Structure 1
Amino acid sequence: MPIQKLHPGLRPGKQLVLADSGNPLFSRQGHWDSGSALHCVAMAFALLGKLTDPVTLSRSDSGPEAVFWDRTWPYYLHGLTRSELESFVLELNLGVRPVALSGGRGSILNFCERELQQGNPVIVGWRRHGVRDAHAALVVGIEGRQHRRTFEPDALLLLDPAAAEPGLAACNARLLFGQKRPTYVTETEAYPITLNTAVSIRPIARPPPAVISSGCA
């Protein structure tokens, strides 16, 4: 039987929400925009506690949500390249950093597993044959099988901003491995894709406070 390992910041139910606050997590991409990576960044930041409400960013006039919303406009219609995504995350200055990996499907699967074990959400990017634009989704879990003490992953669990909102579930799409090419799967469609990259969003570790010693005169 497949085993799913989910990001601890999730709380599935009738609506997918953040475990700590109960605020909705899923940020939906529109039909005209190319902002899938932006939606993924917002959800990743929310899972890490850097944004309170990733769904209603446009209504905020102060705080991290307002900063995030203001910085999306240059990219909203044409999307983000990987280097632009990394710069976008860093320039928000919200205590996280991007860590990117490019490579074949096996390395991306293993990279995502390692990052999720540390509580770091991962944004994956891919292209579909015959479609002009690249697309991105947020990895929020991993699926595989347990063989004694060894867990063998074979699928990534995704929140895809362009897919239907998940109900009673933690994801709305999967990337299945094991075939010649990874396969993107939802409730209504399945097709092979070419993975381009994976970018983990990691909190920046703060140095421990300096120890102040006092001597006796």
Structure 2
Amino acid sequence: MSALIQKLHPALYPGARLTLDDTRRPLFSRQGDWDAGSALHCAAMALAMLGRLPDPVNVRGYASGPVPHFWDRAWPHYLHGLTPSELAAFVWELDAGVQPVPLEGSADELARLCVLELAAGWPVLVWIVNCRTDERHAALVVGIEEHDAIPTTLLLLDPAGAAPVLAACNARLEFGGANASYITAEATVKAGVDGAVSIRLLDAEATGADCV
């Protein structure tokens, strides 16, 4: 009998709503219909998972501290979005005690690098490309799925999708050469990874290496 195992980032607490494990604050930050801010929403969630942003959802509800600092730097990019290199520069400029690490390789190599980064405790932003329409948008890697101890799927939070209910993800990237599929509640499309940026803490080896 084959074994199917899901491994999630240790900062997550899946329940009726997906929250941060330590504070029980909601994590999912949803992209609006008009904006191109998927990478910014993913960056906010990644920073929250690393303990560098206390509230990734209500980013305009604070008068001082790291949340308005993030929003002040995010809003000029909100309508046109960010490429992987632009996102890396944006994260560096936040001076939030984290290091953006761009990942390089083919789509399949990037997916496998994401597995290694997440296993070390680092959330990863990936840029998904729809092979039919050539549309690109960012999603956040929060877990992996293994079949018989072989990683086959990235579990993702897609800011453009619905908030996950009784789950830790709202999208899946099933990878493997030319047959990669991006799966959401709405559709399954042939897709690939067109860039990835890992977010690591500067002052620690990992947040809790070995995801559970």
TM-score (norm 2): 0.91
Equivalent residue number for residue 123 of structure 1: 125
Equivalent residue number for residue 73 of structure 1: 75
Is the 2:19–2:26 contact (alpha carbons within 8 Å) kept by the matching residues of 1?
A: yes
Aligned counterparts of 1:31 and 1:103: Cα–Cα separation in 2 = 31
Is the 1:103–1:196 contact (alpha carbons within 8 Å) kept by the matching residues of 2?
A: no
Aligned counterparts of 2:155 and 2:142: Cα–Cα separation in 1 = 6
Q: Which runs of 4+ in 1 moved over 6 A?
A: none
CA shift for structure 1 position 181: 3.5
CA shift for structure 1 position 188: 2.5
Aligned counterparts of 1:145 and 1:204: Cα–Cα separation in 2 = 33
The AA in structure 2 aligned to 1:8 is P
Is the 2:111–2:193 contact (alpha carbons within 8 Å) kept by the matching residues of 1?
A: no
Is the 1:40–1:161 contact (alpha carbons within 8 Å) kept by the matching residues of 2?
A: yes
Aligned counterparts of 1:63 and 1:181: Cα–Cα separation in 2 = 45
How well do the aligned residues superpose, as a CA RMSD in angstroms? 1.6
SS in 1 for 2:73: helix
Equivalent residue number for residue 158 of structure 1: 156
Aligned counterparts of 2:68 and 2:128: Cα–Cα separation in 1 = 29
Equivalent residue number for residue 17 of structure 1: 19
Equivalent residue number for residue 140 of structure 1: 142
- Identity within the alignment, %: 53
How many pairs does the alignment contain?
Answer: 203
* Structure 1 residue corresponding to 2:165, chosen from 164, 167, 183: 167
The AA in structure 2 aligned to 1:155 is T
Greater Rg over alpha carbons, structure: 1
Aligned counterparts of 2:133 and 2:31: Cα–Cα separation in 1 = 17
Q: Deviations over 1:39-90 (max 9, x none)?
A: 0000000000001110001111110001000011221000001111011000
Aligned counterparts of 1:17 and 1:197: Cα–Cα separation in 2 = 27
Aligned counterparts of 1:113 and 1:130: Cα–Cα separation in 2 = 25
Is the 1:182–1:194 contact (alpha carbons within 8 Å) kept by the matching residues of 2?
A: yes
Is the 1:183–1:193 contact (alpha carbons within 8 Å) kept by the matching residues of 2?
A: yes
Are residue 187 (structure 1) and residue 202 (structure 2) matched? no
The AA in structure 1 aligned to 2:10 is P
Aligned counterparts of 2:185 and 2:139: Cα–Cα separation in 1 = 16
TM-score (norm 1): 0.89
Are residue 38 (structure 1) and residue 40 (structure 2) matched? yes
Is the 1:109–1:153 contact (alpha carbons within 8 Å) kept by the matching residues of 2?
A: no
CA shift for structure 1 position 179: 5.6
The AA in structure 2 aligned to 1:183 is S
Equivalent residue number for residue 214 of structure 1: none
SS in 1 for 2:89: helix
Is the 2:108–2:176 contact (alpha carbons within 8 Å) kept by the matching residues of 1?
A: no
Equivalent residue number for residue 202 of structure 2: 204
* Structure 2 residue corresponding to 1:50, chosen from 49, 52, 59: 52
Aligned counterparts of 1:188 and 1:32: Cα–Cα separation in 2 = 19
CA shift for structure 1 position 113: 1.3
Aligned counterparts of 2:176 and 2:192: Cα–Cα separation in 1 = 14
Is the 1:30–1:162 contact (alpha carbons within 8 Å) kept by the matching residues of 2?
A: yes
Stretches of structure 1 that go unaligned for 5 or more consecutive residues are 208-217
SS in 2 for 1:158: strand
